[in-house]
Each structure stands twice: as C-alpha cells, then as structure tokens.
C-alpha cells in the first residue's frame, strides 16, 4: 500500500492556549500545596475539570443546589446554554478578568470563582436570561428567586448584560426587567436599577459602557447613564447622566467630570466637586 506524507498541523490549525484557565489551574494547585485542608474542595471545584466553562457551571449549580431543583439539573441545563450560546464562555472569562483587574481584594483569578458571590450571581443571571429568551420563563423566574435567596442579588431574567461586569460585594443589588447594562460596568452593593412606578414597557435604566455605580445608589426610570459616567454612593438618579460626568446627591446632579479613564475600571470614588 502506498503511503502518503501528511504534513503536521500548522500553527494556525492548533487551538490557542486558554491562558485564563491555565492560570486558574496553577493557582488551584498552589492552594492545595499551601492549604491541604482545602484539597478536596479545590479538586471537586476546579482540578477535576478540563475547562473553565465546567468550573463556572459547577460553582453556580453548587451555590443554587436545592432538593427540589438539584445541582445536577442546573448543571445539565447550563451545559445546554453554553452549547447553544458559545459566547457565554468568553463572558465568563471577561467577568473574571474584570474582578481581578478592578478589585484590590482579588489577588488571584481563582478568587471570584470560588468565593465572590457577585461573580456567582451574574453567572446565574446569564443562565436565567438564556432560559427567559428560550421561553422557559418559569425556570428563569425560579433561578431569579433562588439567586435572590442564596446570594442576596435580585436581577430580573429579562435584564440584558454585556461582558466584563463586576458586581462588587453585591449584597442588595436589585435590577429590573428592562434594564440594560453594557460591557465593562462596575456596580457596588445596595444598588437599585428600578422603575418609577407601575409604568409598563421600557421602564428601567440603560447603563452604558465604563460606568461605575457606587454603593447604595438608586437609578430610576428609563434613563441613560452615559458612557464613562460615575454615580456617587448613595445618590438617587432620576434624570439622564451625560457621558464622562460624575453625579451625586439626592436628587443627583452633575458635580464634576468623571475623568478620561472609565470609572468602572479605575474604581475611583473620589471626585472634585464643581463649586
């Protein structure tokens, strides 16, 4: 039989390394070496898997596990979502990177996966949103309720989120049905993106790229928070916010510029007020 010479795969044909996953595995191995008491937890949560997507799915399912809707069912459902919507995998990575880059308490990429409920809550919402858009709305509503009970974060399944989202601390965050949160947004604890009453249709805020919303802020109505804006802690925002401006107060008003760097990335909550 004649033999053919098959050339080796070209560099372009080889899959690119998943640098985020490789780093997370190294960090997990370091934890096992430094803290053997957590070895079983780390192996079950990270090292027993071969890709990052499965780790995220496992952590969300474990957080929301309940006798009536067990983790295995949640895991299989999320696996379906990732197959149907491959972009979820990159959203996971962008969200991990957002926390690692912006949160000074996050010294490792592994920390959001294992310990930060804001990260778990946004990934739970991504599954609920997929269910909502596939007309499985009772299951989506169940996930919203369960996430609120377990993690203290209440996001309507219809709300739309981009990638690179950080929910810092996250306790008490409430986000309504028609809210839209663009890429690269940071939201701190106690924030409400709500409506102003019993109006119907588009009734919740639209948060543009690079915005930071400080702790305890309330943003109400179908208003736009412009790109790169900063909402100071404790503010009540009832009117649109121009891009790259800082608003503060009750009711909120423009008090200065937000700076050339996106507040969502710098996480700088100090501003020079306009006199």
Whether 147 and 79 share a structural domain: yes
State whether residue 196 is helix, strand or coil: coil
Nearest CA among 182, 167, 162 for reference residue 117: 167
Nearest CA among 176, 247, 256 for reference residue 217: 247
pTM recorded for the entire structure:
0.92
**Residue 1: what pLDDT?**
45
User: Do the strands 160-161 and 218-220 form a parallel or antiparallel pair, or are they unpaired?
Assistant: unpaired
Whether 211 and 86 share a structural domain: no
Tokens coding 172: 């008490």
Q: Output the tens digit of pLDDT for each of the chain's 275 residues.
A: 444 555 555 555 667 789 999 999 999 999 999 999 999 999 999 999 999 999 999 999 999 999 999 999 999 999 999 999 999 999 999 999 999 999 998 899 999 999 999 999 999 999 999 999 999 999 999 999 999 999 999 999 999 999 999 999 999 999 999 999 999 999 999 999 999 988 899 999 999 999 999 999 999 999 999 999 999 999 999 999 999 999 999 999 999 999 989 999 999 887 765 54
Whether 114 and 206 share a structural domain: no
Whether 190 and 224 share a structural domain: yes
Tell whether 162 is covered by a domain. Answer: no
Whether 142 and 197 share a structural domain: no
**Residue 270: what pLDDT?**
79
How many angstroms separate the CA atoms of 224 and 241, rounded? Answer: 6
Tokens coding 120: 């778990």
Tell whether 56 is covered by a domain. Answer: yes
Domain end point (choices 153, 184, 216)? 153
**Residue 269: what pLDDT?**
84
**Residue 275: what pLDDT?**
45
Phi/psi for 8 (5° steps) reads -65, 155
State whether residue 29 is helix, strand or coil: helix
Whether 180 and 259 share a structural domain: yes
Tell whether 28 is covered by a domain. Answer: yes
Q: 54-83 burial, b if ≥16 CB within 10 A, otherwise e?
A: bbbbbbbbebbbeeebebeebbebbeebbe
State the distance between the two ends of the chain, measured CA to CA, in whole angstroms. 88
- Name, in order, each residue with C-beta under 8 angstroms of 226's C-beta and a sequence gap of 6 or more: 208, 211, 240, 241, 242, 243, 244, 245
The DSSP secondary-structure symbol of 178 reads T
Residue that has been written with the tokens 């991504």 in this structure: 126
- Which residue segment(s) compose the domain that 180 sits in? 172-275
Whether 32 and 132 share a structural domain: yes
CATH number, domain of 252, equals: 2.160.10.10
**Residue 233: what pLDDT?**
97
Whether 147 and 179 share a structural domain: no
180-181, strands of its sheet edge to edge: 160-161, 180-181, 206-207, 224-225
Domain count, the chain: 2
Whether 257 and 139 share a structural domain: no
Whether 149 and 39 share a structural domain: yes
CATH number, domain of 137, equals: 1.10.3130.10
**Residue 5: what pLDDT?**
58
**Residue 13: what pLDDT?**
60
- Name, in order, each residue with C-beta under 8 angstroms of 58's C-beta and a sequence gap of 6 or more: 45, 49, 75
């Amino acid at each position: 039989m004649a033999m053919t010479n098959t050339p080796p795969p070209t560099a372009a044909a080889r899959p690119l390394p998943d640098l985020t996953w490789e780093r997370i595995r190294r960090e997990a191995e370091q934890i096992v070496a430094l803290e053997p008491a957590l070895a079983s937890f780390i192996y079950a949560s990270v090292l027993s898997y071969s890709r990052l997507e499965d780790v995220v799915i496992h952590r969300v399912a474990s957080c929301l596990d309940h006798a009536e809707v067990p983790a295995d069912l949640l895991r299989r459902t999320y696996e379906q979502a990732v197959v149907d919507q491959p972009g979820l995998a990159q959203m996971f990575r962008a969200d991990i990177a957002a926390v690692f880059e912006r949160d000074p308490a996050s010294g490792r990429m592994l920390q959001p996966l294992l310990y930060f409920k804001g990260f778990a809550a946004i990934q739970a919402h991504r599954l609920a949103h997929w269910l909502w858009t596939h007309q499985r709305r009772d299951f989506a509503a169940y996930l919203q309720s369960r996430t609120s009970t377990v993690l203290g974060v209440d996001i309507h399944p219809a709300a739309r989120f981009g990638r690179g989202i950080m929910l810092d601390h996250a306790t008490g965050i409430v986000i309504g049905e028609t809210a839209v949160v663009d890429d690269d947004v940071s939201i701190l604890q106690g924030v409400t993106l709500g409506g102003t009453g019993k109006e119907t249709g588009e009734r919740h805020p639209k948060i543009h790229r690079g915005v930071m919303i400080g702790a305890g802020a309330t943003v109400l109505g179908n208003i736009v928070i412009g790109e790169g804006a900063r909402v100071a802690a404790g503010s009540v925002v009832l009117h649109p916010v121009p891009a790259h401006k800082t608003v503060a107060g009750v009711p909120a008003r423009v008090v200065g510029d937000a700076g050339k760097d996106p507040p969502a990335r710098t996480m700088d909550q100090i501003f020079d007020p306009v006199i």
